[in-house]
């Protein structure tokens, strides 16, 4: 028994020694991709939106399940071009009054709602990114959107507007860049060791435009993978809600309560935390969990429904889980 304890303690000391040596080991975190490499990510986003309308809390729950295919088609000095396509896509929304909507690429092929989603599947577009993970551009989305617009003509007018707004919000170019950021880590421009941190500043368009300032940390290195954590603060581009409310209210009086051309103004702030495991040989994401929580107020301008501006308190929680298949 005493002999076994000594062996166990010796093994434990050896393990601790190995982990301690990794603390000072420098690693270069970047995308080291080669032409014709293939990757498939499974992405699930769950979102809960709470809004207060006249003292009544209404909750909207969104779910997006997708499988996304990536192919490396060009590699230059600091730029990699990827061909990207949805292999499957599922979207559901549960409204505050029990109403719901489901769109699925695998659903009833004769359902016009599902035809919209299928228009997005197997239609490639192109993403260019740097070695550090910065997305330079998203190209070819106009072709995908054109196919979507063709199917929208088959939808009843009473729901067409809301569906189109939802698609534009989730799948516009800036939203695409934002959503793909969940699959691409922003790496530092220099080697780091375990415990080192670095910073990045980006825009998050997944709900409303938000400035996102992230502090990244290299938590661990094991064989061919690295464990990272990013903690971010989120803040809307313009924290001027009260002035915006005064502006649209004044406009309402000037126009006699008619619809205004003013856009909605949003004042929101919150946090975002991402925990990820990446492959050191390619830089590609193995898995991640990202949790975002923001709260604030949306100011709606006068329109055909409201003669005066309306302030709506909002809370939005979004959890996105990504896995390499």
Contact between residue 23 and residue 195 where contact means Cβ atoms under 8 Å apart: yes
Q: Residue 46 pLDDT more than 90? A: yes
- Highest mean pLDDT: which range of 38-42, 206-210, 295-299: 38-42
Asked if residue 311 belongs to a domain, the reply is yes
CATH number (domain holding residue 271): 2.30.230
Q: Which two tokens stand for residue 128?
A: 């260019």
Q: Look at residue 45 and tell me whether its pLDDT is greater than 70.
A: yes
Query: Could you read off the pLDDT of 223-264 as tens digits, one per residue?
Result: 899 999 999 999 987 653 444 444 444 444 444 434 344 556
295 within domain boundaries: yes
Do the beta carbons of residue 73 and residue 86 sit within 8 Å? no
Residue 14 falls inside a structural domain: no
pLDDT bin (cut points 50, 70, 90) of residue 144 is: confident
In this structure, is residue 8 part of a structural domain?
no
pLDDT at 249: 43
Q: What is the mean pLDDT of the chain?
A: 80
Contact 61, 93 (CB under 8 A): yes
Q: What does the block give as tokens for 277?
A: 């495991």
307 band by pLDDT with thresholds 50, 70 and 90:
confident
Q: Is residue 55 one of the residues assigned to a domain?
A: yes
CA dist., res. 133 & res. 126, Å (int):
15
Hey, how many other C-beta atoms are within 10 angstroms of the C-beta on 194?
Answer: 19
Considering the domain boundaries, does residue 63 fall inside one? Answer: yes
Tally of domains in the chain: 1
Q: Which two tokens stand for residue 64?
A: 């997006």
In a domain? residue 9: no
Residue located via tokens 């107020």: 297
- Does a structural domain hold residue 10? no
Neighbours of 150 (CB within 10 A): 12
DSSP calls for 48-114: EEEEEETTEEEEEEEEEEEEEEEEEEEE-SS-EEEEEEEEEEEEEEE-TTS-EEEEETTS-TT-HHH
Q: Which domain holds residue 75?
A: 27-324
* Res. 23: pLDDT tops 60: no
Q: Which value, in Å, is the radius of gyration of the alpha carbons in the chain?
A: 23
User: What tens digit of pLDDT does each residue of 67-79 get?
Assistant: 999 999 999 988 9
């Amino acid at each position: 028994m005493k002999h076994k304890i000594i062996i166990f303690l010796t093994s434990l000391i050896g393990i601790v020694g190995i982990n301690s040596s990794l603390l000072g080991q420098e690693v270069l975190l970047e995308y080291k991709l080669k032409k014709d490499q293939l990757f498939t990510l499974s992405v699930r986003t769950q979102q809960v939106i709470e809004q207060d309308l006249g003292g009544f809390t209404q909750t909207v729950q969104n779910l997006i399940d997708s499988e996304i295919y990536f192919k490396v088609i060009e590699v230059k000095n600091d730029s990699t071009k990827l061909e990207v396509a949805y292999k499957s896509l599922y979207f559901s929304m549960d409204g505050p009054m029990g109403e719901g909507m489901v769109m699925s690429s695998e659903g009833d092929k004769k359902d016009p709602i599902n035809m919209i989603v299928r228009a997005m599947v197997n239609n490639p577009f192109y993403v260019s990114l740097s070695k550090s993970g910065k997305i330079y551009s998203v190209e070819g989305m106009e072709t995908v959107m054109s196919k979507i617009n063709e199917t929208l003509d088959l939808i009843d007018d009473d729901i067409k507007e809301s569906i189109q707004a939802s698609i534009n919000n989730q799948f516009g170019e800036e939203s695409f860049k934002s959503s793909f950021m969940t699959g691409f880590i922003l790496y530092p421009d220099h080697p780091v060791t375990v415990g080192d941190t670095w910073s990045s500043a980006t825009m998050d368009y997944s709900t409303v435009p938000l400035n996102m300032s992230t502090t990244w940390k290299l938590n661990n290195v094991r064989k061919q993978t690295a464990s990272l954590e990013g903690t971010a603060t989120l803040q809307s581009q313009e924290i001027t809600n009260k002035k915006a409310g005064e502006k649209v209210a004044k406009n309402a009086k000037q126009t006699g309560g008619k619809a205004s051309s003013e856009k909605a103004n949003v004042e929101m702030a919150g946090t975002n935390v991402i925990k990820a495991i990446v492959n050191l040989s390619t830089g590609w994401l193995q898995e991640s969990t990202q949790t975002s929580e923001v709260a604030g107020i949306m100011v709606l301008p006068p329109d055909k429904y409201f003669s005066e501006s309306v302030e709506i308190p909002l809370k939005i929680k979004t959890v996105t889980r990504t896995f390499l298949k």
